[in-house]
Amino acid sequence: MSHDQCPSTRGEERPAGGRDRPDVWRSPEELADTPGFREFLEREFPAGASELDGASRREFVKLMGAGLALAGAATIPACRRPDVKILAYSREVPEEITPGEPLYYATSMPTPGGGAEGLLVRTETGRPIKVEGNPLHPSNRGKSSTWAQASILGLYDPDRLKFPRYVNPHRGLLDATWDDFNAWATDHFARFDSDGGSRLAFIVDKKTSPTRDRVRDEMLKRWPRATWLPYEPMDDGAAIAGSRLAFGSPMRELLSLDKARVIVSLDRNVLHGERGALNHASGFAAGRRPVRAGEEMNRLYVVEPGVSETGASADHRLRLAPSRITAFAAALGRAVLERTGGGGKLGEALDALHVPGRDEFRLGEADLVAAIADDLVAHRGEGVVLVGSSQPAEVHALGHALNAVLGNAGAVVSYLPMGDDEAADSLGQLRDLSARMAAGEIDTLVCMNVNPVYDAPADFEFAPRFAKVPNTITLSVGDTETVWGSTWRLNGAHYLESWSDTESLDGTIAPTQPMIAPLYGRAHSDAELIALIAGLDTHEGYELVRATWQGITRLKDERFEKLWRRSLHDGVLANSTPTPAVPDADPRAVAGAVSKLSLAAAPSENALDVVFATSHVHDGRFANYSWLQELPHAGSRVVWDNPVLLSPATAKALKLEPPEGSEDPYTAHQLPRARMGELNVGGRRITMPVWIMPGMADGCAIVHVGYGREHCGYVGTGIGFNSYSVRASDGAHTASGATLARAHGSYEIVSTQDHWSMEGRNSIVRRIDKAAWDEHGDKSPEELRDLIYAALPGHEVNLAEQLGELSHSPAPVSIYVNPLNRSTGDPNPGDEAYDTALKKDLPPAFARGPQWGMSIDLSACTGCGGCTIACQAENNIPVVGKREVAKGREMHWIRVDRYYTGDDLNDPGEVLHQPVPCMQCENAPCETVCPVNATSHGEYGTNDMVYNRCIGTRYCANNCPYKVRRFNFFDFSQTKFNGTFVGEGSLGRPRNVNFIPPRLRQKLDEIQKMRMNPDVTIRGRGVMEKCTYCIQRVNRARADIRVRDEMKSLPGIPDGMVETACQQACPSGAIEFGDLLDESSVVRSSRVNNRSYMLLGFLATRPRTTYMLRVRNPNPAVRASEDPFVAHTEGGENGADETGQSEARALFHRTTAPDGGARIALRVIGAEA
């Protein structure tokens, strides 16, 4: 760290120029002789030296109860030390702290575009290290998104702004302090008092925070003519406008998908990446996890151009370009209204629309529009029509109208009025502001937590206009392009180190409380900065929030303190959740809007629809979070990049398919390379790599935004391509008529999954249609004694296992007595066979609890990757960078495999996701082959890894059939990406830092080590690692039980006391973990369910992690259900692949001739006996 506080060397850090030339720093004349200015010049310790001004910090420490012993530089004897203000409890450990025990604090994280997630943050000796969902918060109920999980990286980002900096017109960039800014601002902003602030503008992120709203109002009282612009680059303006059209005022949509039977998504990724997605995913999953036959299931129709998590979860998925989805929506509206009595004016307006090309709206032979309309009408009040951001406002309004007509409003969907900031028309207001900036009408522009220089629509020409504004003040946590263009660059406080509050989508108010004092200097939050600028009585966040809440609750003194403490503890303000409203959609207004709708012709290769989509890095704000950069994109599984995605057929037509051919580009003889293409959107051009994604709509290109950052930090800078440069305000989400021409060069694209097909190995991800499930789901053979491992000699296998190899392969038993469990027949844990037949001198292995197991429900999994990120956070899993992922060295302990089914790469049948962690096999193939006993079996059934013992032969990974072991080929956990290489990379762009070989990278910053979980070893180079079922959590629970009197009497570890990180984060609850011997455990009940199967169970590995097969709920009008137990009938498009037939045949044979062993041999040689 460069800012050491040794007085003897301190001066060297000072910017050149300085003390002897005071008069050159004169640009704002008023400043020339203020005390603040003089102080700035004469400080002995300028940046960062006086950041801790005692009283307020002590105050918050006391109130938080965290008891962080903080001290200023003066108390530290050491001369050189990092500029970090956190110390261990050196002398007095606060009463409530047990060193080594984590403490959890409730807080909430504002989500992009408004709303919030309630969180519990785990802190270890004062360091927040892991973000978990707050079960008491109604907007996420204990779940957490990948953004919240990864936000910890923003806190410990070494590229954060660390102290204010000021661009002096004469002396250039100077280091400054908050006192300097305060002094400057006091005088500077006083100028605006005369005309009410007409030359003053604020651009802030859209945030639903009562405190910020209150501070904003206070500020606007002083400068009523100031411009206040809540801005989100990827703002869903059409949705806001659509609700305004339908209801007269902007409304938030609240979904209760658990009550829905029929869900129709028109390009809305409702299960991932939007506000409320965590609740949506859990509600959706709740309707899709049948335990017994005949249970009701919801049905999801998705019409989308790309492959989203929602599309992958759909029962029927139609790929359609966005402009055609508008036509589809119109046709659907017409069909629904026809079935519900005409629909009056709206029906007429829809009738008047000419909807060409109805043939596109077919799946197989069925008319999807009619089928969906029938289904929606049949389930009135139990369905919902959802419209996504690629659709114009009129379609959103139509969606609201349809939900009203169908009686879904009030049942599945309800509404809440939006706040002012939330409902603002970001892009429209930014256009006006940008015009005023060009006209020189703006003197001072304050940007807080926004990055318009980078992400404003290209037609605003924002960056050059921004540069012309005389005073630009930017508050930001991380480094941004806007920061680099500003005159004042203020270091913002991360939400984990500042006081604030949030209002979530459902209106619940929650506190945001700091876990730690600001790591760098006196960082301010946005509300604090506004208060400071506006000269409010206090600008301490703590006081601001309390004042706001006193206003909201109208409580004072003791009663308020009580409520305050409880709210901080619970993480929500009690009783703050408002009752949703069900406003009437105005059909006439909707009809008027719809009648103005113009339906574009279907796009073609020469006039592409372009979708600007957000991904894991959202609009670019998370681009410096390495976990999210290395999290594979939905569908394509590309990491560290944002290529233009095309369907294979479109790529072929444009001659832009990957050079190795689109059939199987990933397993070619060289690393996958993409061709470069020049994308022309309305005259703006960008040259980007082009990649194919099966299952996309033809004539459509998907471009992710948020990449190609120039000032972002060591992770995000120079990653991908800045697609904002071709995005105009009138096509902010979707543009049409774009062209894509082949350009010179090629580019390396890296994907974590190199293969798209399941290669006919249908037993990997097993599926069954609901009709077949209802037929067979409850059948259990009489002697189905082996409930946990399904197949034993003489035992029948359960339904899910009948769909795989175990139905026709010999029972997987050993010919030897296994010395570990002293059996040949591998009886179950807790099986009576243990006690009777095998009980000898010792109690058998695996017979005493707890015996850990995991069950992953493929019906519920949406493939969002939340498990991967949660695991990465919990287990200190390193990020390896693009170059290493290209070599196949990613380190994720739980990965999500993605498969497309069917034979047609361009139009695959289904998209399947399968999370794969370590299976913790009882007969683990990895254990027998390790020469040094580095991986061995624990008595609780887990396959343990002894890092200290591992010498790195990698034999275990070779012998792992699931390939879940990860090897540290380099010192991954100790390196960061900005190595010593600088200079131009290929294509004239800055060198992609992820191409720097790990061996040349720098060591990790000290600050980044603070986020490591102290309960989990950091693995060095040359060591194998893998999922441990979060054994550190298990061990902590066991210790807790041992030391707590009230729990000593418990027979084991109660179900639910231990949650693995992946299970805890999974929004749809697809992952269950617990004790298999505990009859009451959730995982046990899943394990004995007819849907449970072992992945590659025929290998006799006896995995402790099992899967539950995916149940599909197809509409019979669209495709006939398939029953794997009867000979294959003429089915719909989905299951008609050849392998499905052979699977069905094999099972059919089983029903007639039970000796499966010979049958499969006959099947192989093609002799159908």
Partner 1 sequence: MSTLNPDQVTAQRLAGALGAVQRENVGDGSLIEDPSVRPPLVLNDREIGEITEIVCGYAEGRPGRWWLPIFLVTSTFVGILLVMVSYLIITGVGVWGLNNQVDWAWDITNFVFWIGIGHAGTLISAILCLFKQKWRTAVNRSAEAMTIFAVICAGMFPAIHVGRVWFIWFVFPIPNYNWIWPNFKSPLLWDVFAVSTYFTVSLLFWYMGMIPDFATLRDRADGRMRAALGEGRKRLVPDVLRGYIFGFLSLGWRNSSRHWHRYEMAYLLLAGLATPLVLSVHSIVSFDFATAILPGWHTTIFPPYFVAGAIFGGFAMVLFLLIPAREVMPGFKDLLTLHHIENMAKILLVTGMMVGFAYSMEFFIAWYGGNEYELYAFKNRATGPYWWAYWTMISCNVLSPQFFWFRRLRQNPLAVWLVALAVTCGMWFERFVIIVTSLHRAFLPGEWHMFFPTYVDILTFCGSCGLFLTCFMLFLRFLPIFPMAEVKAVMPQADTHAHH
Q: How far is the CB of 1158 from partner 1 (least distance, A)?
A: 8
Q: Which positions from 613 to 652 touch partner 1 by CB under 8 A, shown as an x/- string? A: ----------------------------------------
316 or 1163, CB closer to partner 1? 1163
What span, in angstroms and rounded, lies between the C-alpha atoms of 762 and 1156?
Answer: 18
Closest-CA residue to 833 (of 817, 851, 847): 847
How many helices (H) and strands (E) the chain has is answered by 38, 40
Q: How far is the CB of 778 from partner 1 (least distance, A)?
A: 30
Asked if 975 touches partner 1 (CB under 8 A), the answer is no
What span, in angstroms and rounded, lies between the C-alpha atoms of 39 and 35?
Answer: 6
Which stretch, 400-408, 828-836, 861-869, 1159-1167, contacts partner 1 (CB under 8 A)?
A: 1159-1167
Q: How far is the CB of 511 from partner 1 (least distance, A)?
A: 42
For partner 1, the binding residues in 1023-1042 under the rule CB under 8 A are 1023-1024
Q: How far is the CB of 321 from partner 1 (least distance, A)?
A: 29
Asked if 425 touches partner 1 (CB under 8 A), the answer is no
What span, in angstroms and rounded, lies between the C-alpha atoms of 1093 and 116?
Answer: 37
Asked if 976 touches partner 1 (CB under 8 A), the answer is no
Which stretch, 206-214, 285-293, 955-963, 1062-1070, contacts partner 1 (CB under 8 A)?
A: 955-963
For partner 1, the binding residues in 384-413 under the rule CB under 8 A are none
Supply 1089's token pair.
């369910």
Asked if 969 touches partner 1 (CB under 8 A), the answer is yes
What span, in angstroms and rounded, lies between the C-alpha atoms of 135 and 143?
Answer: 7
Choosing from 6, 190, 932, 1039, the residue that interacts with partner 1 (CB under 8 A) is 932
Asked if 872 touches partner 1 (CB under 8 A), the answer is no
Count of CB atoms situated within 10 Å of the CB of 141: 16
Choosing from 28, 407, 592, 952, the residue that interacts with partner 1 (CB under 8 A) is 952
Between the alpha carbon of residue 1056 and those of residues 323, 571, 1063, the distances in Å are 47, 21, 11
Q: How far is the CB of 911 from partner 1 (least distance, A)?
A: 13
What span, in angstroms and rounded, lies between the C-alpha atoms of 139 and 133?
Answer: 10
Burial of 728 (0-12, 13-18, 19+ CB in 10 A): middle
Contact by Cβ (8 Å): 104, 121: yes
Which stretch, 120-128, 543-551, 665-673, 712-720, contacts partner 1 (CB under 8 A)?
A: 665-673
Between the alpha carbon of residue 1122 and those of residues 298, 375, 470, the distances in Å are 18, 20, 69
Between the alpha carbon of residue 983 and those of residues 121, 597, 748, 979, 992, the distances in Å are 40, 50, 18, 12, 10
739 or 1002, CB closer to partner 1? 1002
Asked if 822 touches partner 1 (CB under 8 A), the answer is no
For partner 1, the binding residues in 668-697 under the rule CB under 8 A are 668-671
457 or 812, CB closer to partner 1? 812
DSSP for residue 193: G
Asked if 104 touches partner 1 (CB under 8 A), the answer is no
Contact by Cβ (8 Å): 180, 164: yes
Asked if 900 touches partner 1 (CB under 8 A), the answer is no
Q: How far is the CB of 1161 from partner 1 (least distance, A)?
A: 4
Contact by Cβ (8 Å): 992, 715: no
Choosing from 667, 1080, 1129, 1151, the residue that interacts with partner 1 (CB under 8 A) is 667
Contact by Cβ (8 Å): 483, 489: yes
Asked if 931 touches partner 1 (CB under 8 A), the answer is yes
Asked if 1163 touches partner 1 (CB under 8 A), the answer is yes
Q: Which positions from 979 to 1018 touch partner 1 by CB under 8 A, shown as an x/- string? A: -------------------xx-------------------
Q: How far is the CB of 1065 from partner 1 (least distance, A)?
A: 21
Supply 217's token pair.
């109002």
Which stretch, 21-29, 365-373, 854-862, 885-893, contacts partner 1 (CB under 8 A)?
A: 885-893
Count of CB atoms situated within 10 Å of the CB of 1000: 11
For partner 1, the binding residues in 434-463 under the rule CB under 8 A are none
Which stretch, 147-155, 394-402, 792-800, 1021-1029, contacts partner 1 (CB under 8 A)?
A: 1021-1029
Amino acid in position 225: R
705 or 1023, CB closer to partner 1? 1023
Choosing from 17, 67, 938, 1022, the residue that interacts with partner 1 (CB under 8 A) is 1022
Q: In 191-275, which residue ranges form alpha helices assigned H by DSSP?
A: 210-222, 237-247
Closest-CA residue to 928 (of 697, 702, 1100, 749): 1100
Closest-CA residue to 317 (of 1140, 857, 911): 911
Asked if 954 touches partner 1 (CB under 8 A), the answer is yes
26 or 1145, CB closer to partner 1? 1145
Choosing from 852, 899, 977, 1073, the residue that interacts with partner 1 (CB under 8 A) is 899
Which stretch, 372-380, 540-548, 616-624, 883-891, contacts partner 1 (CB under 8 A)?
A: 883-891
Choosing from 641, 971, 1123, 1133, the residue that interacts with partner 1 (CB under 8 A) is 971
Q: In a 3-state reduction of DSSP, which class is residue 1143? A: helix
Asked if 875 touches partner 1 (CB under 8 A), the answer is no
Asked if 890 touches partner 1 (CB under 8 A), the answer is yes
Task: Please provide residue 611's backbone torsions phi and psi, each rounded to the nearest 5 degrees.
Answer: -110, 120
Angle between helix axes 393-405 and 344-352 (nearest 10 degrees) is 140
Count of CB atoms situated within 10 Å of the CB of 923: 18
Q: How far is the CB of 1018 from partner 1 (least distance, A)?
A: 15
Burial of 957 (0-12, 13-18, 19+ CB in 10 A): middle
The site that binds partner 1 (CB under 8 A) totals a number of residues, namely 70
Asked if 887 touches partner 1 (CB under 8 A), the answer is yes
Q: Which residues contact 525 (CB under 8 A, 6 or more apart)?
A: 492, 493, 495, 498, 499, 500, 541
Task: State the distance between the two ends of the chain, measured CA to CA, in whole angstroms.
Answer: 75
Asked if 1165 touches partner 1 (CB under 8 A), the answer is yes
Asked if 870 touches partner 1 (CB under 8 A), the answer is no
Q: How far is the CB of 199 from partner 1 (least distance, A)?
A: 57
Contact by Cβ (8 Å): 134, 524: no
What span, in angstroms and rounded, lies between the C-alpha atoms of 784 and 1046?
Answer: 38
Choosing from 529, 930, 1077, 1083, the residue that interacts with partner 1 (CB under 8 A) is 930
Asked if 921 touches partner 1 (CB under 8 A), the answer is no
Which stretch, 174-182, 302-310, 474-482, 661-669, contacts partner 1 (CB under 8 A)?
A: 661-669
Between the alpha carbon of residue 820 and those of residues 924, 1027, 1064, 1073, the distances in Å are 11, 22, 32, 24
Choosing from 607, 741, 929, 1018, the residue that interacts with partner 1 (CB under 8 A) is 929
For partner 1, the binding residues in 717-776 under the rule CB under 8 A are 753-755, 757-761, 764
What span, in angstroms and rounded, lies between the C-alpha atoms of 109 and 116?
Answer: 5
Amino acid in position 522: R
Contact by Cβ (8 Å): 313, 284: yes
Closest-CA residue to 898 (of 762, 1072, 765, 805): 765
What span, in angstroms and rounded, lies between the C-alpha atoms of 165 and 492?
Answer: 12
328 or 962, CB closer to partner 1? 962
Asked if 826 touches partner 1 (CB under 8 A), the answer is no
Asked if 854 touches partner 1 (CB under 8 A), the answer is no
The site for partner 1 (CB under 8 A) is made up of 666-671, 753-755, 757-761, 764, 884, 887-890, 895, 897-899, 914, 916, 925, 928-933, 949-955, 957-959, 961-963, 965-971, 998-999, 1020-1024, 1095-1096, 1099, 1101, 1157, 1160-1161, 1163-1165
